[in-house]
Amino acid sequence: MAANNTFQYSLDRDVVYVSIRSIQKFLIPVVCFLGSTGNILAACTFLARTLRDKSCCLYLAAKCLSDTMFLISLFLVWLDRVDVPAFHLHGFCQIIIFVTYICGFLSVWFVVFITAENYIRVSCPGRVSQLCTPEKAKTAILILVIISIFVYHFPLWTTGIVLNNGTAGQCSLLAKYNVVNQGLTYADTVLTLALPSVLIIFLVVAILCHVYEAFKRQIRLRRLGRHPRRSFLNKSPHGRITKMLFAVSTVFILFHTPSHAIRLRLLILQFLNKDINPVEEFKLQRIFELLYYVNFSTNCVIYLLFGKSFRQVFKQIYCKPQPCCAEQITSPQQRRFSSLFQSENLAEKETETICLHSVDDIWEKRNSATSTSDK
C-alpha cells in the first residue's frame, strides 16, 4: 500500500503526466461525441438501400456500430473524472469493461475481414460473387460477436467494487482472480494486436503486389497502343481499392497498435523481471491511449475522404434541400405537375446510385471495348 501511495504521489508531481491527464479530460468527451455522431451517420449510410447489398459495407457498418458502443462506454468511464462515479457502481463496472473488451476485439477483426475481402477482389475477381456476399458477411459478423462474448465474458465475474480505505468503492480487478486476469491479458494481446497485425500486414503486402502487377500490365498495353491513357490510381478499380485500403490500414496501424504495443512491452518486461521506470511508462501509455480512442472516432472522416461511393450516397441522404426553401404549391394542378417532376428526380437519383456500384463493370467494359476497336 505504501509503495502504491508513493507511486501515485510521483505521478501527481510529474508535470508532463498531469498535463497529459488534463488534455485527456477535455478531449475524451469531444472524441466520444463527435465520433459517436459520425459513426451513426456512417452506419446509416452503409445500411442504405444503395449500399447494403455489398458485403464490405456491412462490415464497415458493423464496425461503426461497435466503435459507437465503445465510445459510449468510454464516456461513462470519463464521467468519473468530473465526479460522476457511474463507473464505480456494481453492475455498471462489470458491463462497461465487458463492452469495451468486446468492441475492441470486434473493431480489430472487422478491419481484418475488410482487408481480406479487398484481397479477394483484387487477386480473385472471378470469385467475388461467391465469397463476398451479404449473406456470408452477416454470418461472419454473427460468428465474431458470438466468439467475442465467449472469450471476453471474464470481466463479468473477475471484476467488482473494491473498498478503498474502507470508505469509497472502486471498480477494480478482484485479487483472487489475479492469475486468471494475467493469463487473459496475454490472450487479449495476441487476439487484438499480434495476430490481427500480422494478418493485415500480410494481406496489404499481397494486395500491393497484385496492384503493382496490374499497373505493369497497363504500362505494357499502353506502350502497345492497346490501352487508353488514364490515371491508374484514380480511375482503375485496383487504384480505388488501394487508396481505401491504405487509409483504413494506416489508421489502424498508427492509432491502434501503439497502445497495445506499450502494454505488450510492459507484460514482457514484467515476465522477464526487468526494471522499468513506471512514471515514464505511464506517460507513454496515456499518450498512446488517446490515439487509441481517436481510432474509434475517425471512421466517417476516412470514408468521406477516400470513399467516392460513400461520399455520394452520404450527400444524397444528409445534404438534401430543405423543404422550407421550396416554393409553396397552392393549386391542385401545380401539385400534380410537381409530383411528376419529383418522381423523375427520384428515378434519376436511383439510376445514379446504381451506377455507383457498377463502376468496376463499366471500367472492364471500356477496356474490352477499347481492345476490340484496336483489333
3-state SS of 302-325?
A: HHHHHCHHHHHHHHHHHCCCCHHH
Q: What percent of the chain has pLDDT over 70?
A: 74
Give tens-digit pLDDT for 287-323. 888 889 999 999 999 999 888 888 889 999 998 765 5
Mean pLDDT, residues 23-45: 94
Least confident of 240-244, 252-256, 367-371: 367-371
Q: What are phi and psi of 165, to 5 degrees?
A: 60, 30
Per-residue pLDDT averaged across 181-204, rounded? Answer: 87
Kindly report, residue by residue over 135-186, the tens digit of the pLDDT.
Answer: 999 999 999 999 999 999 999 999 988 877 656 678 888 888 888 888 888 8
pLDDT at 203 over 80: yes
Whole-number average pLDDT of the chain: 78
What pLDDT score was predicted for residue 102? 95
Residue type, 52: R
Cβ–Cβ contacts within 10 Å for residue 371, how many? Answer: 12
pLDDT reported for residue 143 = 97
Higher pLDDT, 216 or 110: 110
What is the identity of the amino acid at 218? Q
As a whole number, mean pLDDT of residues 11-39 equals 88
Q: What is the pLDDT of residue 207?
A: 84
Beta strands in the chain (DSSP E): 159-164, 168-173
Give yes or no for residue 19 having a pLDDT over 90: no
Whether 345 shows a pLDDT value over 50: the answer reads no
Q: Is the pLDDT of residue 354 over 50?
A: no
Any idea what DSSP says for residue 325?
G
Cell numbers found for residue 259: 497502445
Residue (of 57, 28, 27, 34) closest to 44 by Cα position? 57
pLDDT of residue 277: 65
- Helix then strand then coil, % of the chain, to nearest 5: 80, 5, 15
Q: Report CA-CA distances (Å) from 129 to 28, 44, 117.
A: 42, 24, 11
Q: CA–CA separation, 290 vs 307, rounded Å?
A: 26
What are the backbone angles phi and psi of residue 159, rounded to the nearest 5°?
-120, 160
| Helix spans in the chain (H) | 2-13, 15-46, 55-78, 92-123, 128-131, 134-151, 155-158, 178-189, 195-223, 232-235, 237-251, 257-271, 278-295, 299-306, 308-318, 332-357, 359-374
The phi and psi torsions of 33 (rounded to 5 degrees) equal -70, -55
CA angle in degrees (0–180, nearest 5) for 249-232-55:
45
- Choose between 8 and 249: higher pLDDT: 249
Residue with cell 490515439: 291
Between 58-67, 114-123, 309-318, 330-339, the lowest mean confidence (pLDDT) is in 330-339
CB 122 within 8 A of CB 238: yes
Residue 61 vs residue 341, higher pLDDT? 61
Instruction: Write the CB contacts of 163 (distance below 8 Å, at least 6 apart in sequence).
Output: 169, 170
State phi, psi for 269 to the nearest 5 degrees: -65, -40
- CB of 169 within 8 A of CB of 161? yes
pLDDT of residue 325 exceeding 50, the answer is: no
Distances (CA, A) of 318 to 48, 118, 227, 311: 12, 28, 39, 11
Give CA torsion, residues 213, 218, 221, 227, to 10 deg.
160
Tens-digit pLDDT profile for residues 254-284: 888 787 777 777 777 777 777 666 777 778 8
- Amino acid at position 97, single letter: I
Q: Strand 168-173 vs strand 159-164: parallel, antiparallel, or unpaired?
A: antiparallel
pLDDT at residue 126, as a whole number: 81
Q: Is the pLDDT confidence value at 362 over 80?
A: no
pLDDT score of 108 more than 90: yes
Distance separating alpha carbons of residues 95 and 276, to the nearest angstrom:
32
- Stronger pLDDT, 271 or 200, i.e. the higher one: 200
Of 185 and 202, the one with more pLDDT: 202
Average pLDDT of span 347-356: 37
Is-contact 39 68, C-beta < 8 A?
yes
Grid cell digits, residue 96: 462497461
Between 21-35, 297-311, 336-350, the lowest mean confidence (pLDDT) is in: 336-350
Q: Does the pLDDT of residue 353 top 70, yes or no?
A: no
Would you place residue 4 in the very low, low, confident or very high pLDDT band (cuts 50, 70, 90)?
Answer: low
Cβ atoms of 303 and 42 within 8 Å: the answer is: yes
Of 120, 4, 11, 9, whose CA–CA distance to 56 is shortest?
120
Is residue 173 classed as helix, strand or coil in its secondary structure? strand
pTM of the model: 0.78
pLDDT tens for each residue of 46-82: 999 888 888 888 999 999 999 999 999 999 999 988 8
pLDDT of residue 9: 57
Residue 43, pLDDT > 80, answer yes
Query: What pLDDT score does 10 carry?
Result: 67
Stretch 106-128: mean pLDDT: 88
CA-to-CA distance for 81 and 33, rounded, in angstroms?
17
